[in-house]
Every structure is written in C-alpha cells, then in structure tokens.
Structure 1
C-alpha cells in the first residue's frame, strides 16, 4: 500500500537524518566512517539486528572503501524511517529482560554480571561497546547498573 506523505513531513525526516549524519562527518565532506553508521542509525531511533545493519551498510557503502556518502545514506535512511524498519523493542519487554537477569530482584545488575550477559549471549556486544555502555550508564559510586534508569535513557520516544 502506498503511503501518503506531505512534503513538509518528508523534509523534516530528511533534516533529522542530515543533522545526525553531519554530527559524525568530522571532515565536513559529506562522508562518514562506515564504523559510525550503527551509531547514527541508533541515534535516529532505529535498532537493526547485526545482519540488517550489515545489509544496510552493503547498500550504502562507497565501493568497499570504508566510507558512506550522504548522497547514498539519505535516501536509504529516509526509506527506513518512513517504513518504520528496525523499530526499537518496547520498553516493557526490555524491563522484563532485565528482571529475568536480576534473579535476586535487587533492581540493579553488577557491571561484571551485565558484561557477561551482553558479551556472551544473543548478538554479543564487543568489549569496546561494553566499555562505552558501562562508562555512560554505570553508577560508579555504587558499582552497579540501575536498569530502570538505563531503560529510560535508552528508550526513544517514537513521536520525537
């Protein structure tokens, strides 16, 4: 089925994509390092699987150079956003997952515990990704991750 879309909505979507892309265009030449694409896509409220992310990169990367040009990224990402591909997991399901991991019902996980789960299960995080997550989200004074706070930080309001 065709999607009816007003021009101003399309313009707003493309402005949002362009602004997010440009935040990672450190050379100001309308290109970004391919390694930044996942972060850009997540920042736009999309959460692809690793396979979907690799497929998307294959679609937009410039001849396996390691660089993505805005001219290829913009139309592909516009389609992703308008078709609501790669939606986030609902907040209540993320909370349920954390509660399953929190067998003692403490309301938090130890960094070592979370690292074990995140690097050894499902689509595992790399150690670099895990380090970034712990740096950004761990309570360093209490040496824990209060997952309800983490969920609120990671959840994106779909209306924004």
Structure 2
C-alpha cells in the first residue's frame, strides 16, 4: 500500500520526480565520465560494475551480467555507451534496486559462520565460505576481499571492523 501512496504522491508533484531524475542523471554522468578516458561517451564494459557500485548499488555478479546485456550493443563492442546506460541506471536508482545489505544483517550473517562467537573468522574459513557456498566468489573477488578484510598479524577477519569499513552511508 505504501508503494501506491508514494506513486500517487509522485504523480501529484512531478517537479519532485523531475528534480530526482535530474540529480540522478548528473550523478550517473559524473561516475561514467571518470572511466570515459576518450571523452567520447563510452566506457570499457569491464568498468560498468565499478561505476554501478560507485553509485551505491550492489548487484550480484548474475545481476550485473544481466544489466550489461541490457545496455550492450546488439553486436558487443566491448564498450558501453552513455546514452544506453543512462536510462537503465536512472531507473535502477529511482527503484532503489541493488541496495546494500543493512549492517545488522551483515553482522548476523557473519555470526552464523562463527557459532563460537569469537568475533573473527580465520582466512581459511573465509576462503572456504566464500568459494564453496552460495554464489561463489571468483578468484579476483576473493583476492580483493582478502586484501581488504584480513588482518595480516592475526591472519583473520575481525568482521565487526570489516562491516563498519564496508557499510555505505545512506546520507
């Protein structure tokens, strides 16, 4: 019901919706331009995930793959054009899709993996969970997470510290 009320409210105040769209367009263009090295309104397809994440969205690898397929040319060129990316990304931001998982949910997830409530997971445990369960991390994703998460002295992840570092501030 809240969604219907919100839609009705937006329908009554088109100026607010237009302002939000204009703000999203600027954010998307700014993020896109960082990777538009030739200044020709195209970016390497491999940069799209980074651009999307810089806009506060956290799609899974499968969702990212689908999204790229949606904005890619009929004959893939290895590049994504701003004119195809902009409307799709605007819609994602308007719908608040791919929002980051809340901090308390992340903490509960780590606690499930740490039944002894030690407050940490060893590097070996983390690798096992991230590569053998659910949607497995790729080698590159695993290396990136380990470099950010693992304390080199203890060779473990103190997950409360890691979550605090990872959480996106919504404001």
User: Which TM-score applies when normalising by structure 1?
Assistant: 0.87
Cα RMSD over matched residues? Answer: 1.9
Which residues in structure 2 correspond to 1:1-160 (within 5 Å)?
A: 1=7, 3=10, 4=14, 5-62=16-73, 63-159=75-171
Deviation at 1:6, TM superposition (A): 4.2
Aligned counterparts of 2:60 and 2:77: Cα–Cα separation in 1: 23
Rounded Cα–Cα distance in structure 2 between residues aligned with 1:29 and 1:146 = 44
Deviation at 1:52, TM superposition (A): 2.2
Instruction: Give the 3-state SS of the residue equivalent to 2:120 in structure 1.
Output: coil
Runs (5+) with no aligned partner, structure 1: none
Q: Please report the TM-score for the alignment, with normalisation by the length of structure 2.
A: 0.82
Larger helix percent? 2
Q: Mean Cα displacement is larger for which, 149-158 or 123-132?
A: 149-158
Q: Where does structure 2 lack aligned partners over 5 or more consecutive residues?
A: 1-6
Paired residue secondary structure (2:43): strand
